Structure 1
Amino acid sequence: MPSYLKDYYVDLPSSHMATSTVHPLSKFLLYSHLSPHNKSFSLKVLHSSEPNSFKEATQSQYWQDTMALELWALEHNNTWEVVPLLVDRKPVGSKWVYKIKYNLNGSIERYKAKLVAKRLQPERRL
């Protein structure tokens, strides 16, 4: 084994069909080997969850406030202009993207919500 790999331990499963994941992290990552600081950060990140839908986000006041702030910023910066939709055009859809930003010590720095435009699907020609 090359000397630059001496600090790594690799134990591949005998059968790749044993689990649905060929290389599960739990087999290679042990929290007992992390420093107390990194262990604390990892556990805090695991227990915080980002919403997967608008409905989930509306259940939390943090996310409601964050979405309201994002909408205010979009309006304040004149990001869009509401205009009548032309007859031969389709409206652009949008969706919310949610992220939690962390400080180095694992505490939550802020909740971040972005309203993004969905990609337009090209029209199929027959």
Structure 2
Amino acid sequence: MAKGLCVLKHSSGTTYALGKYLTYDKLSPKYQECIAKSTTTTEPTNHSEVVKDPGWIEVMKNEINALEGNQTWEIASLPEEKKPIRCKWIFKVKYKAIGDVERFKARLVTKGYSQQEGIDFQETFSPVVMMKTVRANLIIAYQKQWYIH
């Protein structure tokens, strides 16, 4: 009997092995393989897990290089009465539709919930565009016969 490989993590931090409650017996071997692939690769939750894997370190370096290449920030001196805003890494494993690992993704995000506009920052920048916005603009350009370059 193939038991569930997934683990359910409650918001309190308690984990529950779903193998006690799930069985994959009724799934075809193809789907069992897909589930097994997607549940054996885990996302790191802390720095000590990341430093053990050179793949994750490379992904982090790529993220830093992208942030620097996009000129996301500039070095400035911190006023004495201010504290620096902390940041953290978010790690995700991206999968193909068939369950294979497509890529590993790391994002450096600030814990900006304590910031106040005009005091801690002047403007925001997001290097991500939503595909539905791109599609909507292309549709409008097509309907109005605009030139796109």
Task: State the TM-score, normalized to the length of structure 1.
Answer: 0.70
Measured against aligned partners, the alpha-carbon deviations of 1:7-51 in whole angstroms (never above 9, x if no partner) come to xxxxxxxxxxxxx99xx8556642112232321111112211111
- Check conservation: 1:92, 1:120, Cα contact below 8 A: no
Aligned to 2:52: 59
Give the match's secondary structure for 2:56: helix
**How many Å separate the matches in 1 of 2:101 and 2:80?**
46
Tell me the C-alpha RMSD between the 2 structures.
Answer: 2.5
Aligned to 2:74: 81
Shift of 1:54: 1.7
Choose 1 or 2 for highest CA Rg: 1
Q: Percent identity?
A: 38
Amino acid at match of 1:63: W
Aligned to 2:92: 99
Give the match's secondary structure for 2:25: helix
1:109 paired residue among 98, 102, 107: 102
Shift of 1:110: 0.1
Aligned to 1:49: 42
**How many Å separate the matches in 1 of 2:18 and 2:50?**
29
After superposition, where does 1:13-28 map in structure 2 within 5 Å? 26=19
Shift of 1:121: 4.4
Measured against aligned partners, the alpha-carbon deviations of 1:79-119 in whole angstroms (never above 9, x if no partner) come to 11110001111101000011101112221100000000014
**How many Å separate the matches in 1 of 2:31 and 2:23?**
12
Question: Comparing both chains, which one has the higher relative contact order based on Cα–Cα distances under 8 Å and sequence gaps of 6 or more?
Answer: 1
How many residue pairs match? The answer is 102
- Check conservation: 1:98, 1:112, Cα contact below 8 A: yes
Measured against aligned partners, the alpha-carbon deviations of 1:57-90 in whole angstroms (never above 9, x if no partner) come to 1110110110000000000001111100011111
Gaps of 5+ in 2: 1-13, 116-149
Aligned to 1:69: 62
